[in-house]
Amino acid sequence: MSRSVKKGFYVDPGLWKKVIKAQETDDRRPIKTWSRRSLITPEFVGLNIDVYNGKQFLPVHVTENMVGHRLGEFSLTRTFRGHAGSNKK
Amino acid sequence: MPRILAVDIPGNKKLPYALRYIYGIGPTLAKEIVEASGLDEDRRAKDLTEEEINKLAEIIIERGIRTEGDLRREVTGNIKRLIAIQCNRGIRHRRSLPVRGQRTKTNARTRKGKAKAIAGKKK
């Protein structure tokens, strides 16, 4: 079920402050964050965000198309290296 | 067989059912369209006059309901977008695995295709 409109969008408050500041100062250094649940708003466009996947920070460059998705969607948490013994056809 | 919106040829079924043969029109919309047209819902699609068919088509266009090619294009466009932005859903589409968090240990055959035997897998 999608989020109630009444509540508005969710962005981690700490991350939000950093994003606004980065946009004001035109600072393109990556912002590290653990907040995978934060929604990408138009303010994020053009920034580099390092999103934690439980192990490391994966760099995400935010483009216009990504608005409306959440940060976690771009930082995969699983590694799949194929099944044992399937040595490719 | 009558044609609505140039392409579709619904069968000799009652109107709300015949309309559902158009891609993008399901049970609810079909019923609403028939009601809006004021036609008797027990009539068969084949006994419609040209005028009545045009009326149905008009209602579909007027309401901005996307059907057939337009709708298919929109859907593939959406999937393309997901793939282009490298998000998890896009990656699932690219690898043709289930997109909405279903289990893949078993099942998921619709997305994965027919099961492939794995050599030497016994007990």
Phi, psi of B113 (to 5 degrees): 85, -175
- Considering only CB atoms, B85 lies closest to which of A66, A76, A85, namely A66
State whether residue B7 sits within 8 Å of chain A by CB: no
Instruction: Find out whether A61 and A51 touch, Cβ atoms under 8 Å.
Output: no
Same fold, B3-62 and B68-112: no
Average confidence score pLDDT of chain B: 84
Query: Which ipTM value was assigned to this complex?
Result: 0.71
State whether residue B38 sits within 8 Å of chain A by CB: no
Over residues B46-94, the pLDDT tens digits come to 888 888 888 888 888 888 888 888 889 999 998 888 888 878 888 888 8
- Considering only CB atoms, B88 lies closest to which of A65, A73, A86, namely A73
- Considering only CB atoms, B88 lies closest to which of A76, A85, A86, namely A76
Give the start-to-end residue ranges of the domains of chain B.
3-62, 68-112
Q: CA–CA separation, B48 vs B88, rounded Å?
A: 48
Residue percentage of chain B with pLDDT more than 90: 2
State whether residue B72 sits within 8 Å of chain A by CB: no
Residue percentage of chain B with pLDDT more than 70: 95
Q: Is B117 helix (H, G, I), strand (E, B) or coil?
A: coil
Q: Looking at residue B11, what is its pLDDT?
A: 75
Range with the largest mean pLDDT of A26-30, A42-46, A79-83: A42-46
From the options 3.30.70.141, 3.20.20.70, 3.50.50.60, 4.10.910.10, give the CATH code of B68-112: 4.10.910.10
State whether residue B88 sits within 8 Å of chain A by CB: yes
Architecture of domain B3-62: Orthogonal Bundle (1.10)
What value does the mean pLDDT take over residues A2-17? Answer: 89
